[in-house]
Amino acid sequence: MAEMKCIALVHEEFGKPEEVLSLKEIDLPPVRQGEVLIQMEAAAIHPSDIGMIGGSYGRLRELPAVGGREGVGTVVEVGSGVPSSWEGRRVRLPEDSGVWRSLQVARAEHLLEYPDNIPAEQAALAAVNPTTAIRLLSDFADLQSGDWVVQNAGNSAVGIAVIQLAKARGLRTASLVRREELFAPLAEMGADLVVLDDRSAPEKIREARGDARMPLGLNSVGGSSVLNLAQSVSDGGTVVTFGGMTGEKIRFPTRQLIFSDVSFRGFWMDRWNRTNSPDAREALLSEVYEAIGSGTLKTPVEEVYPLSAFQEAFEHNSSGRLGKILFGNV
């Protein structure tokens, strides 16, 4: 069998992506029985990718490692025992071997296929952030039509998915952000209230929701921002932490813990995937596909970069933006 190679973003130590990643040509194994060759179409840059490369994430890869957790590709070659009809299929790139690469070989039986009506850029963003948003809205509070959900980082990919999915469920959202220029675009996506993440936020939120329930707060920032969430939710409400963008420790408000009986929980999508059945995971992804296909859910994409422009991609990713940054076959 002919030797194959691909280009990939590889890191041999943990650190900042722009400092430890390098574009390398690496060997690919031959396509054997039951396997296929996949060409990358699009792959996301997520905060968890940066955490994995930096060595701070809850699950790390053995070094040297190819970066990236989520992407979509097209089957361009099949091995023996795999029907030729597999060629041209759009599939999720296997996560464990890293997705920031031009090509990879995988077992056909382990691949998840995407519906034809989902664009490649949306397929590359379907399995991490929207699934997290659904679980957050489904697993931590008995939300009823007309209830409110409050979240920080409302302009994040999960935050935008929460806004859109909540609206489809008849829920209302209050989103905390750090820039006023985000107010209008988030409102256009369906946000009911967008306020600056400062000390005045809880009062503005309480005024907007009136007597309506706000049983759920969603935290992916950390630090003092959590105080705003705890001071905004209803008595007996729950604040769920699923990220820590600032790296600051969560501040627990004694008053809300004692007098308002506010609860604090944690959520990790990776753990949910590991502890639930394949049928449950498939059902969750089907819900995401349906939402994307119907137009209920759309993750904004700001820019797509080739792998060779990874320095520019990470610089853009760390700047003030609304949409996601992707790597693509461009």
225 Cβ contact list (under 8 Å, min separation 6):
152, 176, 197, 219, 246
Distances (CA, A) of 295 to 126, 140, 168, 197, 264: 13, 26, 11, 29, 33
- Helix ranges restricted to H, the chain: 17-20, 47-54, 120-123, 129-139, 157-168, 183-188, 201-209, 225-230, 254-259, 269-275, 278-294, 310-317
User: How far is residue 228's CA from residue 61's CA, in Å, rounded to a whole number?
Assistant: 35
User: How far is residue 109's CA from residue 100's CA, in Å, rounded to a whole number?
Assistant: 22
Active-site residue among 57, 114, 289, 305? 57
**Contact yes or no for 152/229 (Cβ under 8 A):** yes
Cβ burial of 28 (10 Å; 0-12, 13-18, 19+) is middle
Tokens of 38: 């996949």
Distances (CA, A) of 221 to 26, 102, 159, 217, 228: 36, 33, 11, 12, 11
- Of 35, 54, 169, 167, nearest to 109 (Cα)? 35
154 Cβ contact list (under 8 Å, min separation 6):
160, 162, 163, 173, 175, 176, 177, 182, 186, 191, 194
User: How far is residue 244's CA from residue 92's CA, in Å, rounded to a whole number?
Assistant: 27
Q: Is 57 a catalytic residue?
A: yes
Catalytically active residues are 57
